[in-house]
Copies of this chain bind each other. A is one copy, B any other.
Amino acid sequence: MAHDIQVVTEAELKEAVKLDLTAVDVVERAFAALASGKVVMPPILSMDLHEVNGEVDVKTAYIPGFDGFAIKVSPGFFDNPKLGLPSLNGLMILFSANTGLVESLFLDNGYLTDVRTAAAGAVAARHLAPETVDTAGVIGTGVQSRLQMIAARLVRPFNRVLVYGRDPEKADACAADLSEVLRIEAEVVTEPADLVARSQLVVTTTPAREPVLKAEWLHPGLHITAMGSDQTGKNEIDPAALMVANAYICDSASQCAVSGELEAAKAAGLWDKGTPVELGEVITGAKPGRASPDAITICDLTGTGAQDTAIATHVRKHFRTAGQILRT
């Protein structure tokens, strides 16, 4: 039976959907819902395509109380730049939570993922970082390096940002962009240990498979959000750091155990604390997060289908009349 489907392009989405506190709040609501135990979030469908140096992930979650649910498809084909094409593309499909009918196609090429991923970083900072953050640091120099700092500053108005990257030119460019957007001092540091020592909030945004942040660098009054690991084998944080920290918090305990920092800590035989606390449990107050200003906290973000459903329903609300309507 024919029905109408809204189709919205990347350009339209970029024009209308911003990384702002409203986006942060809607993603926070999704995490809180996850803690209720009523969200239906199946394991990520992941397809490794070695033959073409590619991968495809499909994420989804049904959140009671949200009027839609998203299915997000994210292909990554890492030889594309040789062809002058982007590595990443993809789209979100929004379904009615009442009828399962396709309501919207957001042809975002990953833009909404960028927004909801950065928003999750802000949620983590809001609930786990020290109340006062003077200096924030970012390890990594890509799109998320910028967006994570922009998002974090929505909830912790720091005065200085430090940037570390293996490639000095990329680090310079990232610092210049952050300085311009945030209108604060942005400084490139050449040693990640210095960056951590001088920061109260650090975000790691790399695809590292060996830790880029060592346990001995941790200091009182530090919060770390590790958002780079999203696949088995990736590892940004020294597994020992998870044991040294006063609190280790996951976006999804089941996902982090197979594709987050927790995976490496378990593989190293270090993890002995049972099921870790989830960010949603901290948001709702069901479990403790930061116990004191001097505590050391680590948040592990692998990216959840719940965030995709949150951002897609958010977009839909702000886009009732936009996009193109197709009658299928």
Contacts and interface: CB of A to CB of B under 8 A. Distances in A.
A301 interface: no
Contact of A58 (B45, B77, B98): B45
Interface stretch (A102-110, A127-135, A214-222, A284-292): A102-110
A98 B82 CA distance: 12
Interface string A55-74: 01010101010000001010
Contacts of A326: 7, 9, 107, 324
A2 B7 contact: no
Contact of A101 (B43, B85, B95): B85
A23 to B, nearest CB: 21
A165 B273 CA distance: 57
Contacts of A42: 45-47
Contacts of A62: 47, 49
Contacts of A58: 45, 58, 60, 71
A167 interface: no
A318 interface: no
A100 B54 contact: yes
Nearest to A62: B49
A94 to B, nearest CB: 11
Enumerate the 10 nearest inter-chain pairs by beta-carbon distance, A residue then B residue, closest first.
A75-B100, A77-B100, A45-B45, A107-B328, A1-B86, A9-B328, A10-B328, A42-B47, A54-B100, A89-B101
Interface of A: 1-3, 5, 7, 9-11, 40, 42-43, 45-49, 51-52, 54, 56, 58, 60, 62, 64, 71, 73, 75-77, 80, 83, 85-86, 89-91, 93, 95, 97-102, 105, 107-109, 324, 326-328
